[in-house]
Amino acid sequence: MGILQVLINPVLPVFAILALGFFLGKTNRMTVEQAKTVNWVATSIFLPILVLGLVSNVPFKQFSPEPLLSYMLAELIIISLAFWLALKLGLQKQEAVLMSVGCVFVNNVFLVLPISQFLYGAENVLPIVAILTLDTIILFMGTLFALELTRPEQPSLRHVFRVITRLPLVQAIGAGLLLNLLNIKLADPIQTFISFNGHAAAPLALVALGIVLSQVPIRFDRVVCIFTGIKLIIFPFTVWAAMSLFAPVTPDSGKYMLSSAGPITTAVFSFGMLYGAPTTRVAQLLVLTTLLSLISIAALA
């Protein structure tokens, strides 16, 4: 499919609900506080339902580990280089953690996954589901650990474990993996419940995100521009290079590239708020990567 065709459908229709949220925020029809409530409902109720259904039904036995490991290697390389660069540019350690993780932690659930389902069919998005599952487990835990270890007060790993285990999304992934590994099939009424309600997660979260983004002032901060380039150009290139070296015959390579092209996840901003770290640049990175990923997603789809 051509870039323009993909941009018209399905990229723009998915982004349109985010634009609606942006309009509602700019015109003061909805406030940031209301957006936070909507986002809590989306991420604490509907998103875990969606992820539980996805993970419990993923045919992991059909999955080849080489491309996924290549993708994770690219993530590790970019996080390491971006963290080093952030410190060189004078960022505090916690802000450096957030900006470097933001270069690889993609909003797969709410943007890339719906778009890939439209493009390839819901049954053909195993790479996207695998990436979002591992990113949620590894990058969630890794980021929280890094923020805990870099805070001025005495680190508390027990606190991190408590936070992680209480996250509904992590609990849903754990339950889904358990059901999958034990080959337990959910009853049809439960599957219908998951299918019906899971679809509400992305639209609700994107409306809330649009409202929040409408209140973020955009400045041409040198650091934000550099990290936007790392996220949307350097990271996809590194994924391509890693897969070319270690998984050159992967039939689903395009789906890994599509995943790498997405904007940063809102979780990075939430982590900053949780730990009281500077979030101005993170918010601007979120805005710029979300807007510019219209092009990168359409180009790599």
Domain boundaries, the chain: 3-300
Rounded CA-CA distance 110/203 in Å is 8
pLDDT reported for residue 167: 84
Confidence of residue 133 (pLDDT cuts 50, 70, 90): confident
Please identify which residue in the block is written with the tokens 């474990």.
161
Q: How much is the mean pLDDT over the chain?
A: 90
User: Which residue type occupies 131?
Assistant: I
Dump pLDDT digits (tens) for 256-281.
999 999 999 988 988 888 788 998 99
Average pLDDT over residues 40-54: 92
CA distance 286 to 294: 13
Estimate to the nearest angstrom the gap between the alpha carbon of 79 and the chain centroid.
15
Higher pLDDT, 173 or 74: 74
**Mean pLDDT (whole number) for 33-61:** 90
Q: Mean pLDDT, to the nearest integer, of 109-125? A: 88
For the structural domain made of 3-300, what CATH number should be given? Answer: 1.20.1530.20
**pLDDT tens-digit readout, 137-189:** 889 889 988 998 888 777 777 877 887 888 898 899 899 999 999 999 999 99
pTM for this model (two decimals)? 0.90
